[in-house]
């Protein structure tokens, strides 16, 4: 049975790269009807926190990714790691190292000053027994290092193909620090063996770690999992994605009005090609179509425009009733919510949502576009004023059109359009002159949903009142 794991460190909130790794592991497990294990690698006590752990769990839940086992916390297994590493010492695969961190740093600095590269020189491998006893007596902290054998380390990466590394390029790496805490290499291999992980799917930045971990699997006489390393996500400058690109935690995207289904599609389509790119896939479709063979070796670029498009597609598919609570929360955020929208004006409110959703890319777009419908205090786009309100004929045409509107009994989109086009024909002008002017006066922008549907929702009285603003807006 396929068994994969997502093993984040709680030193920060769940970010885009980690969320994509989690998703690919989850899709792989679900596609093969296997197990998805959640493991929190929290042995870095100076940077890990419960708050960050909660944030990771909440991020996965928001995306709809459930786990079959866990969450397991490495901080609860320190004794296990210490026992396992002593087994390696007893079997000749590792040895105690009494070199202090400051001594190591000095040797590196001295070598660097001579223009030389320095790696650990196995000074403690054959340390005389009397010297070991003296260090022990002094209470000198000791680390445990892995004794790297001389061999070629080969494996086939499921994304990158065959990879080979000579062990002479790997120094004897630390497994247990002098303070008794395990390093990443030790804890990850011990856990992967214990949890019977069959496939390790993680970022490209771990490729350099894999040869060391393969050596550990062999030392523990354990079968190797298969490895698949995902190309790292880049920013628009083609550098590794980070906060400087304006990309923070997954939670921030939720706060900014994105939906989990859009985010799932966005994450999935970075490095994975399910087929048609310009559409939203359901979770079931992604599970059915997912395979590691379809993963690209090339690094994808974070494209917020695509995320916005996907989110807009999801919004356009949602019913007003589904969008209503999200829109309500954002209207409250900007003090535009009115309680009667939830009862006697609910029908009007749902029509407003349906009108605005086609042009909305995030939930926060609703509050911006809804303002002229819910408040008289809205601004006018300066370029729109110059382009659409400077024609001198408007000073004559708009009062005449206002009189036409006043005579209307049914102020519906269809009747409004009929009256406006009829007036334009009588005056020998193009309807666009009146349409653009009305849009600017009534909502303040040169772009909006269909103007006749807009006017119907604004209502006759408000429309006529705002038509009288021409003089003030122009000046």
Catalytic residues: 243
Task: Name the nearest CA neighbour of 57 among 67, 45, 47, 48.
Answer: 67
Cβ(32)–Cβ(48) below 8 Å:
no
State both tokens at 423. Answer: 């007036």
Q: Map residue 412 onto helix, strand or coil.
A: coil
E strands, 167-300, in order: 174-176, 199-203, 226-230
What is the C-alpha to C-alpha distance for residues 54 and 71, in angstroms, rounded to an integer? 11
What is the C-alpha to C-alpha distance for residues 475 and 80, in angstroms, rounded to an integer? 77
User: What is the rounded radius of gyration, in angstroms, for the C-alpha atoms of the chain?
Assistant: 32
What is the C-alpha to C-alpha distance for residues 390 and 47, in angstroms, rounded to an integer? 60
What is the C-alpha to C-alpha distance for residues 26 and 37, in angstroms, rounded to an integer? 9
Cβ(459)–Cβ(427) below 8 Å:
no
Task: Name the nearest CA neighbour of 32 among 224, 186, 198, 156.
Answer: 198
Task: Name the nearest CA neighbour of 374 among 414, 409, 334.
Answer: 334
Query: N- to C-terminal Cα distance for the chain?
Result: 73
Give me the sheet containing 35-40, strands edge to edge: 3-6, 35-40, 69-73
Query: How long is the chain?
Result: 475
What is the C-alpha to C-alpha distance for residues 171 and 150, in angstroms, rounded to an integer? 11
Can the peptide bond before residue 161 be classed as cis, meaning omega within 30 degrees of 0? no
Q: Map residue 128 onto helix, strand or coil.
A: coil
Cβ(392)–Cβ(433) below 8 Å:
no
């Amino acid at each position: 049975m396929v068994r994969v794991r997502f093993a984040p460190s709680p030193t920060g909130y769940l970010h885009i790269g980690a969320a994509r790794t989690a998703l690919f592991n989850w899709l792989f497990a679900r596609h093969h009807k296997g197990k998805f294990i959640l493991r929190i690698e929290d042995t870095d006590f100076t940077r890990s926190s419960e708050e960050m752990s909660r944030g990771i769990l909440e991020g996965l839940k928001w995306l709809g990714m459930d786990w079959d086992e866990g969450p397991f916390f490495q901080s609860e297994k320190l004794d296990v790691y210490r026992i396992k590493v002593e087994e390696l010492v007893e079997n000749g695969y590792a040895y105690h190292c009494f070199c202090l961190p400051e001594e190591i740093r000095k040797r590196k600095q001295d070598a660097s000053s001579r223009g030389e590269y320095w790696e650990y020189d196995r000074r403690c491998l054959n340390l005389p027994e009397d010297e070991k006893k003296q260090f022990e007596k002094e209470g000198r902290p000791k680390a445990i290092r892995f004794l790297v054998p001389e061999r070629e380390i080969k494996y086939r990466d499921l994304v990158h193909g065959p990879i080979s590394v000579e062990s002479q390029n790997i120094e004897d790496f630390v497994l247990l620090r002098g303070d008794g805490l395990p390093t990443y290499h030790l804890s990850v291999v011990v856990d992967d063996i214990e949890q019977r992980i069959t496939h390790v799917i993680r970022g490209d930045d771990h490729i350099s770690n894999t040869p060391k971990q393969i050596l550990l699997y062999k030392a523990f006489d354990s079968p190797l999992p298969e490895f698949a390393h995902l190309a790292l996500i880049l920013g628009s400058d083609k550098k590794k994605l980070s906060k400087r690109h304006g990309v923070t935690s997954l939670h921030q995207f939720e706060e900014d009005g994105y939906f989990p289904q859009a985010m799932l599609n966005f994450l999935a389509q970075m490095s994975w090609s399910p087929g048609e790119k310009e559409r939203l896939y359901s979770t079931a479709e992604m599970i059915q179509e997912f395979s590691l063979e379809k993963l690209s070796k090339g690094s994808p670029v974070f494209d917020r425009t695509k995320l916005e498009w996907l989110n807009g597609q999801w919004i356009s598919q949602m019913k007003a009733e589904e969008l209503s609570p999200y829109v309500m929360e954002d209207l409250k955020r900007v003090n535009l919510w009115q309680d009667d929208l939830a009862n006697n004006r609910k029908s009007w409110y749902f029509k407003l949502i349906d009108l605005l959703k086609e042009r909305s890319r995030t939930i926060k777009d609703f509050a911006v576009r809804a303002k002229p419908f819910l408040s008289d205090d809205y601004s006018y786009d300066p370029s729109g004023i110059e382009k659409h309100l400077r024609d001198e004929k408007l000073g004559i045409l708009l009062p005449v059109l206002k009189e036409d509107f006043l005579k209307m009994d049914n102020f519906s989109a269809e009747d409004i359009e009929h009256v406006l086009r009829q007036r334009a024909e009588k005056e020998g002008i193009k309807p666009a002159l009146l349409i653009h002017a009305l849009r600017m006066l009534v909502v303040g922008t040169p772009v909006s949903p269909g103007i006749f549907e807009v006017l119907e929702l604004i209502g006759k009285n408000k429309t006529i009142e705002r038509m009288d603003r021409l003089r003030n807006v122009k000046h």
